[in-house]
Structure 1
Amino acid sequence: MTTPMNPSELYRHGLQLLRRKDVSAWVDLWDHNGVVEFPFAPENWPSRIEGKTAISDYVHRYPEHIYVPDVPDHPAVEGIPGVAIHPATDPETIVVNMRGGDRLVDDDGTPYIAVITVRAGLFTSYRAYWNPLAATRPSTGSVNVGLFARKPENGS
């Protein structure tokens, strides 16, 4: 019997899958009833996505729009975005501080914080705190929201 990954291990593994643009495998890391929340989502953007299927539908364009840092657990070095994973009091929860960037805009990434809960080796909750003003890219119509990005429906 394999021991499920702890939250930090699962998050690191998920980043590697996203770096390989393997969105399907990343979605497989989610509990069927998982929830993604964006407390500061811009108007006309979802603030809550419920269920593995809805999460999959939401992230399907990920490879077209954002990059994922390749320096896990280290602060930004010489402009390279970094990831810092902090344990929480609850052993099933971590706090992640990182940058995610829009591939269509020459920037060094938008900083954000995510509070992530893992149960039985699967993501159950991902709450991303980011600045929607910094994330909105008027020139491209895309919005960078950490690991989740999508264009407005009228810009598809």
Structure 2
Amino acid sequence: MPTNTAPADLYRHGLQLLLDKNIPAWVDLWDDNGIFEFPFAPEGWPKRLEGKAAVADYMRDYPDHIDLHDFPDVEIHQTTTAHTIVVEMRGVGRLVETDSPFDMTYIAVVTVKDGLITRYRDYWNPLAVLQDPASDFTGRS
């Protein structure tokens, strides 16, 4: 993606990469020093990842845990900070290990600089993880 890509366009492109299960390309959307935060992560789950390498390690096996089928509801809101967006979205698919449905609602606050994600705060619902202990990956987006 070009360095002048608008945050909303970059984000939508990233969602398509996740649907395509192209995790390396999704990680390539990150700045080397990008920060991935999970403010609502339950005990024992990461709350903060620092750097593109940590994001890559965290996301490496994502398709082995969650088979995403669609993001049927995506609303992207512009903020007064030109490079930051707020995203409300829903991801649906199935949990690979149990073959049970996956349906998660997210709110994300994403900052982009020079066409790369520099900060991503993922406010996913930890109750979904606590309700399905067989899944060790439900909240990762």
2:83 is matched with 92
Displacement of 1:143 in angstroms is: 3.0
The alpha carbon displacement at 1:99 in A equals: 1.6
1:69-80 mapped onto 2 (5 Å cutoff): 70-71=70-71
In structure 2, C-alpha distance between the alignment counterparts of 1:48 and 1:9, rounded to whole Å: 25
**2:77 aligned with 1:83:** no
SS where residue 109 of structure 1 aligns?
strand
Could you state the TM-score of these two structures normalised by the residue count of structure 2? 0.86
Going from structure 1 to structure 2, the CA distance change for 1:123 and 1:68 (only over 3 Å counts) comes to farther
CA-based RMSD: 1.9
Q: Trace 1:6-25 onto structure 2 (pairs within 5 A).
A: 6-25=6-25
Cα distance in 2, alignment partners of residues 58 and 47 from structure 1: 12
User: How far does residue 46 in structure 1 lie from its aligned partner after superposition?
Assistant: 0.8
Q: Who is 1:103 aligned against?
A: 94
Please tell me whether residue 124 in structure 1 is matched to residue 118 in structure 2.
Answer: yes
TM-score of the pair, normalised by structure 1:
0.79
Alignment of 1:41-80 (within 5 A): 41-68=41-68, 70-71=70-71
Say whether the 8 Å CA contact 2:68–2:94 is kept in structure 1. no
SS of corresponding position for 1:143:
coil
Mapped to 2, the partners of 1:65 and 1:58 lie a distance apart of 12
Q: Deviations over 1:80-130 (max 9, x none)?
A: x31111111111011111123462253361111000000000000110112
> Identity over aligned residues, as a percent?
54
Between the aligned partners of 2:5 and 2:16, the Cα distance in structure 1 is 14
**Secondary structure of the structure 2 residue equivalent to 1:144:** coil
The runs of 5 or more residues in structure 2 that have no matched partner are none
Change (3 A) 1:46 1:22: same
In 1, Cα distance between equivalents of 2:68 and 2:11: 12
- How many residue pairs get matched? 136
CA distance in 1, matches of 2:39, 2:75: 21
The aligned amino acid for 1:53 is A
